[in-house]
Structure 1
């Protein structure tokens, strides 16, 4: 009898905690999940992308040779943009990434140089971190990267820009639907990416800062109920 009572109590606790969670996940899924919209690839899409780049001072970004930042106060980046190099730091690790030739990268644990399989694992981790965390910093400036498709989508009576990356990055094939304010500045996008459990999740792009080189970069994003910051941004030419 005592065993049955214990099992019932455990089962009740499990149901109490898991049922609301499952209901919440279901609500989120049916509220936000949607297929990638179909857009039109034409001059109007490029014009919308050009307007966004003008508002964000793309020319200043192109002339920016160095960007430093921290992502959620967990990872620190020192990106030598001019030479395609980046030092990535997290926990006790440091990786000097050679973005063009990853095999030339160096990895360290507590300042000790690491070689072999562990070095390769750390380099791959740093590359994935860089691809993700730099995207949250400079994604608007990447709409004309090689292999990018731009399409115009009508959303709530307004023009939105669907950007699809057919190559590069950690998960090629990802799509993002940008929405803008009246000036053409991005305020949010919806995401279709293999890294997320559902399609069409929305993320804000806000709290923009104008850097010392003139480029504009975001310092805050919100996805569902969760926000994360990008701090300690420094730029030089």
Structure 2
């Protein structure tokens, strides 16, 4: 038995060492430092131009947004006008009040949860919403409170928009470098975020639809070998 345990321990250690070596190689190849940019009116103008290409006014006037995340694991119906969102996953349904989160209500299998369980599940729903909604509407958040904008000159001579969120959301401090088409329309961003140890990984923003309300919203993102689907994305004004 001891001999078997020693063999298993060696195998586990070997796998861990190989994993660390592989991560080190990937880190050395793909990790990028957060670029420095120049802030000011020019950066704001670049951000405003990106919003204009995306029909920002139509997005502002869109009342309801619906989408899903992780292959439909998390589902959302967001009422932007009332500041509320219904979040569903597994057997849970949470009616989140984004203006007064303490008023939010959580259900499991249709039954109201008690006060302690309600708070825990509501917090989880808000974390889900903060992350999953960002993949839907990130371009429209470049002027959010706490967002710092700057221009970064790329090697090909074009300009990219760097946005750093100093507050708000679940992970303040994250930065995103928007790579833009010549007309200012976004096509991808690079990320420097707390939950990913490698900086500068790129996700596409090129699978768009025009919603019933006239706003542009993405249907999916390519992130390395992975595809992040947002399901049946909808944006409309009448229930």
Same fold judged by TM-score > 0.5? yes
Of residues 24, 27, 35 in structure 2, which corresponds to 1:26? 24
CA distance in 1, matches of 2:83, 2:38: 33
Shift, 1:57, TM fit: 0.6
Q: Deviations over 1:136-183 (max 9, x none)?
A: 000000111112111001122210101011211011121111101223
Q: Which moved more, 1:25-34 or 1:203-212?
A: 25-34
Of residues 28, 48, 51 in structure 2, which corresponds to 1:50? 48
Shift, 1:223, TM fit: 2.3
1:26-105 equivalences in 2 (<5 Å): 26-72=24-70, 73-105=72-104
CA distance in 2, matches of 1:149, 1:115: 40
Paired residues of 2:47 and 2:161 also in contact (CA < 8 A): yes
Shift, 1:197, TM fit: 2.3
CA distance in 2, matches of 1:23, 1:206: 34
Shift, 1:18, TM fit: 3.9
Structure 1, unaligned stretches of length 5 or more? none
CA distance in 2, matches of 1:25, 1:225: 16
Structure 2, unaligned stretches of length 5 or more? none
Q: Deviations over 1:48-107 (max 9, x none)?
A: 111211111101100100001111211000100111000000000010000011000000
TM-score of the two chains, using structure 1 as the length reference: 0.92
2:111 aligned residue: 112
CA distance in 2, matches of 1:194, 1:236: 33
CA distance in 2, matches of 1:216, 1:44: 24
1:217 aligned residue: 217
Shift, 1:11, TM fit: 5.0
Paired residues of 2:219 and 2:232 also in contact (CA < 8 A): no
CA distance in 1, matches of 2:21, 2:158: 33
Q: Which moved more, 1:223-232 or 1:162-171?
A: 223-232
Shift, 1:115, TM fit: 2.3
1:152 aligned residue: 151
